[in-house]
Structure formats: C-alpha cells, structure tokens
C-alpha cells in the first residue's frame, strides 16, 4: 500500500506530466511515485541494516535532491555514540552539509519520523518525505503533510520486519528510543 499526501491531494492527481523515467517534465526533478520512492528507500534500508549490525537501533535515512542526487545518509546512532540526538534523519541531514534551501530535497526514512525529526523537516523546509513504514511507530508524517510536505508512505515489508524484529528482541531499548515508559 502506498499513501501519497500533499496538502490533502495525491500528487499524481495534480495533472503534472511525468515521463516514464519517473521525472516531472515540468520541473525536471524526481517525482515521488512509488517506484522512485522505493529506489530511494534502498539507501535508507542499507543504513538501517548497518546500524543493526553495529548493535544499534535499525532506523536509516537519506537526504536526496529532487533530481535523485544523494546528499547525505545516516542511521540512528544513539546506542553506538551514547548520544540521544543522533537519529537517522539528523545523521543524514548533518552528512548532507549546509544548503541555502532544502525545498528541493526529499528526506527518506525507514520509519515514520518522530516529532524531533519531523521538526527538522519542517524547520528547514524539506519539500518531500518518503516513509518506509508507519506501523511500528507513527510519528509526525501526517502533520508534515498538513503543512505542505509531499509525503509518501510505502508500508514496506522489509522495513516493518527489520524494526519489528528489533522491537520484539529489545523492547526496553526501543521504548528508550521513542521516549516511552517500559
């Protein structure tokens, strides 16, 4: 299932003409259709798997320009670094470096972003968000859509399985990560 939201409308219904390459002809940038979103998600999934292999929480993210250029990638490193502020989205954002404008960017994450990371997307005006899954945790992706961010929720089985297995095996660490009680 794919859910696409942008200020209450499915982007595909806005009448923009997309070439078979997944690019928006009018603007020359990557359209957030399911195929394009799934290709971008692969980078975030690689990061999540690497984080799990390091003994961390398997959440990955990547920041792309709309033309498909990878700007930065990262994973949740709260456990590895002992730093509660190193979420996957913040790591990818930091890895991307400074930009004057983020409206042409897409944050791709394996899990619905928490309020901290949703705030980052909103604060810096990141124009698009691809969410691998929102079953394990539902963060602020709907709020971001209400504020004009184009949001695609993929409900990806690999993302759900990866994090779901971690939550089952490490419930106390998961609850610490999301700021919930045991």
Residue 89 is among the residues annotated as catalytic for this protein: yes
70: region left, alpha or beta (phi > 0 left; psi from -120 to 50 alpha): beta
Distance CA 10, CA 98 (A): 30
> Could you say which of 34, 47, 89, 142 is catalytic?
89
- CA 47, 87, 151, 19 dihedral sign is negative
- Using only the alpha carbons of the chain, give its radius of gyration: 16
From the list 110, 117, 116, 107, the residue with the least C-alpha distance to 136 is: 110
Catalytic residues: 89
């Amino acid at each position: 299932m794919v859910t696409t939201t942008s200020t209450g409308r499915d982007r595909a219904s806005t009448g923009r003409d997309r070439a078979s390459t997944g690019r928006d002809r009018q603007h020359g940038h990557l359209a957030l259709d399911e195929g394009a979103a799934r290709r971008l998600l692969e980078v975030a999934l690689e990061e999540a798997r690497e984080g799990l292999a390091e003994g961390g929480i398997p959440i990955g993210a990547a920041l792309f320009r709309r033309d498909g250029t990878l700007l930065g990638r990262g994973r949740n490193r709260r456990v590895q670094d002992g730093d509660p502020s190193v979420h996957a989205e913040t790591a990818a954002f930091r890895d991307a470096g400074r930009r004057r404008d983020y409206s042409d960017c897409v944050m791709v994450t394996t899990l619905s972003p928490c309020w901290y990371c949703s705030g980052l997307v909103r604060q810096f005006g990141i124009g698009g968000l691809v969410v691998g899954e929102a079953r394990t945790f539902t963060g602020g992706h709907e709020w971001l859509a209400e504020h004009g961010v184009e949001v695609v929720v993929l409900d990806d089985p690999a993302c759900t399985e990866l994090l779901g297995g971690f939550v089952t095996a490490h419930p106390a660490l998961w609850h610490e990560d999301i700021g919930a009680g045991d």
